[in-house]
Structure 1
Amino acid sequence: MRWQHLPLGGLVASSVAVNLYVSSYIGTITTLSLCQDANGNYSLTTIAANNGSAPSPSWLEKDGYNGIIYGLDEGLTGPNGSISSYKTPGSGVLKQIDRHVTLGGPVSSIVYNGGKALAVAHYGGSALSSWTIQKSGGLALLQNLQFTLSTPGTIPDRQDAPHPHEALVDPTDQFIVVPDLGADYIRVFSIDPSTSILTQRTPFSTPPGSGPRHGAFFVSPTTNKTYFFLVSELGNTVTSYSVSYSVSNNLGFTEVSSSGIYGNASTPVGAASGEGVLSPDARFFLTSCRNDSTLLIPPFDTSKNHSTALIRSDSLQSWAIDAQTGSLAFVQLAAAGGSFPRQFSVSRDGRLAAVGLQESGRVVIIERDVQAGTWGGFVAEVDVEGEVTSVVWDE
């Protein structure tokens, strides 16, 4: 769809486009092309769809070292998942390098140890796996680390077992951190730089029933201290922790600030906090909330139902980072563009965000005011078949 918009001066010239890759539970990884013409109009179009290699794609990770895309298949129809590696040619048609069967439920991955390895969080498989990255961009299994619970957690239907939800690497590239929704843990693993082997350390306990989901590290440019920002799905909270590095080769976490996902307002019943991303300039923490449905926006395409009635939208949030203390202050609540913003990613210059709306089957591009840290208007959107699970920029 095309949108009238004043030029931002940060994305593209009239003849230049940037690709985005989108995963969907229908079994596809779709390539989108985002263009901005000389008049400042954006267009977002589908240019390719890769089918068949993953029945239920759940996550895409671009390797910043070699440009390879790693795609996870959650394995919703069977006991196992899978992981695939893809080359990213300029045409946007992904070329598969390899594919491996994994433990069940892979939902997040991160490259670590200077681009030598990949860590994968397995929600359904109650595990963390590690993989050696080969010269071809393909993978070789290194470890499967599985976890158990002696008894169900505070919310038994969601905390019946450990449910690792994301894998993150710390700023020193010495540790992998895993928010575990089922166990109410931030799990910590030290990295052996010579082998990429991960060693489990003593986990940090979050409040019972909070359900840690996603997070991001922040290093203060003024104090050089490290902080960790955590989005907890079941408690619908956003928490900042100061991070300490211990002599026992572990990480410590001390709470600095905590708030409901709606800031000073009450969180709607049934809401489920989702993503947490550090802005490229490291001045803001950006989050999403699913199933709140409190905001109203105009429909994107009135030709489908010939109606101009407003539609309900879930939300995005922006939080200002105090570089001196590491605390987070609520800045804004904004419309996500539809239902279930499960994941989003921000362009390299921070001026645009691509939001994957799982239940709407849509990707929207939203502008950002980089200085104010606020969300702006929708500048492009396109429907993607199935339930959208992730969207990443190919920059």
Structure 2
Amino acid sequence: MALDSLQIVLLLPQLLHSFCQSSSSWLAMRLHLSLGGLVTTAVATNLYVSSYIGTITTLQLSQAQNGSYALKQVAINNGSAPNPSWLTLDSTNGVLYCADEGLSVPDGTISSYSTSPSGQLKQIDRHSVISGPVSSVVYNDGKAQAFAHYTGSSVTTWSILASGGLQSLQNFTYTMSSPGPNPARQEAPHPHEALLDPTGSFILVNDLGADLVRVYSIDKKTSELIESTPFHAPPGSGPRHGSFLVSGNQTFYFLISELGNTIASYKLTYGNASLEFTQVFRSGTYGNNTVPTGAAAAECLISPDHKFLLTSSRNDSLFHIDNFDVNNSTKLTSDTLQTWEINPYTGELAFKQLSPAGGLFPRQFSVNKLGDLVAVGLQNSGRVVIVERDIKAGTYGKFVAEIDIPGQVTSVVWDE
């Protein structure tokens, strides 16, 4: 028997309860019910934002019945670390890890927090570490975590305790006999990002200072890393961030390099505790367009459908966009986001779109699970923007929400 609108409304709380129980995320929910031809949408998603001012801010993104979005602050965690630089969310266990670069103090710190539906964070533990942690990744089925330390020229590993806390496991600290081709930025090794390969057997660390992609195999029994032969990136390129794609029986690695402003793709060949990199594509980060003077390539992510590579560049100031304050006619200067279409057979890339990032220095961004929304952390604008994305075309659309964050935004992650 068909339900009328009143019956559906009365059943709505029960439907919501059942949906939330069956969802893997207690906070990301979308419910579409037909009420006499009207579509009602309920959405509530938390995001966590780190800022060099020393805060982790929880934002909530909601969507109204008319389809419009709102982004508001629901919680703020003050004073746990001087200069938070990177957030990693273990959504399975509800733990948020924060790397603190320690720009104003001799050492860095790493912290872990339990999350909650309200957005409030509760600190589990905190450790002083080698200076400059700027990235981390959970590995070995949640048993350990690896950190890349930029200023400390190091890679460290930590065992993850049952509480979500961390216990020191290994330190790898590197030196160089002489500066690299860019002595101002390559006076020492500078590990910039730690990544887990798709098989879960290797950690890759992009080293901007040494022009290396460091490779480590994982001892599954102890979670210890074993150094393998690194991949030598082009001299002076400055490897920064990367992403993996498994396509059929092939695995590709996409690498964005900050100093050279290049994007490259490599076919990976797996050996006995080793990886071989074969280049299949290389381009400037603006496709066939000239790289603007002073530009600095930043992020590199694969879209959830694995069809597109999404990148960002800082300090190019190529767009002037409408002010987010409707009462202010002053245009805002914006750096850029780039979209690349991936050839799944060869790993080659085709430049598809250059789009405004919503402000200055899009240091990091992240994509929601559906792939239709992107949260961009704008370091020098002190802002987070949410931009729509056409899943089928792979292109960015309009900005749908934004909020100012005190200090310099360093990362933003979805909790879905």
CA contact (8 A) 1:12 1:36 kept: no
Q: How does 1:172-321 map to 2 (within 5 A)?
A: 172-220=199-247, 223-247=248-272, 249-303=273-327, 307-321=328-342
Q: CA RMSD in A?
A: 1.1
Say yes or no: does 1:73 pair with 2:94. Answer: no
- Alignment-mate amino acid for residue 318 of structure 2: T
Hey, what's the Cα distance between the residues in 2 that align with 1:203 and 1:257? Answer: 19
CA contact (8 A) 1:20 1:392 kept: yes
Equivalent residue, structure 2, for 1:126: 153
Equivalent residue, structure 1, for 2:180: 153
Identical columns (%): 61
Equivalent residue, structure 2, for 1:4: none
Q: How does 1:99-118 map to 2 (within 5 A)?
A: 99-118=126-145
Q: How far does the alpha carbon of each residue in 1:97-125 deviate from its partner, in whole angstroms, 9 at most, with x for none? A: 11011100000000101111000000010
CA contact (8 A) 2:29 2:42 kept: no
Count of equivalent residues? 380
- Alignment-mate amino acid for residue 290 of structure 1: R
Q: How far has the Cα of 1:224 moved from its partner?
A: 1.7
Say yes or no: does 1:390 pair with 2:414. Answer: no
Q: Which runs of 5+ in 1 are unaligned?
A: 1-9
Q: How far does the alpha carbon of each residue in 1:220-263 deviate from its partner, in whole angstroms, 9 at most, with x for none? A: 0xx3200000000000001000001113x111111000110101
Identify which of 363, 370, 387 aligns with 1:342. Answer: 363
Equivalent residue, structure 2, for 1:357: 378
CA contact (8 A) 1:290 1:342 kept: yes
Structure showing greater radius of gyration is 2
Identify which of 392, 397, 404 aligns with 1:371. Answer: 392
Hey, what's the Cα distance between the residues in 1 that align with 2:63 and 2:119? Answer: 18
Q: How far has the Cα of 1:341 moved from its partner?
A: 0.1
- Alignment-mate amino acid for residue 298 of structure 1: D
Runs of 4+ in 1 over 2 A off after TM superposition: 10-16
Hey, what's the Cα distance between the residues in 2 that align with 1:266 and 1:11? Answer: 43
Equivalent residue, structure 2, for 1:3: none
Q: 3-state DSSP class of the match of 2:193?
A: coil
1:12–1:384 Cα change, 3 Å: farther
- Alignment-mate amino acid for residue 320 of structure 1: E
Equivalent residue, structure 1, for 2:167: 140
CA contact (8 A) 1:12 1:35 kept: no
Q: How far has the Cα of 1:328 moved from its partner?
A: 1.1
Hey, what's the Cα distance between the residues in 2 that align with 1:67 and 1:108? Answer: 19
Q: How far does the alpha carbon of each residue in 1:126-153 deviate from its partner, in whole angstroms, 9 at most, with x for none? A: 0000010111111101011111111000
- Alignment-mate amino acid for residue 269 of structure 1: T
TM-score between the two structures when normalised by the length of structure 2? 0.90
Say yes or no: does 1:332 pair with 2:353. Answer: yes
Q: How far has the Cα of 1:11 moved from its partner?
A: 6.8
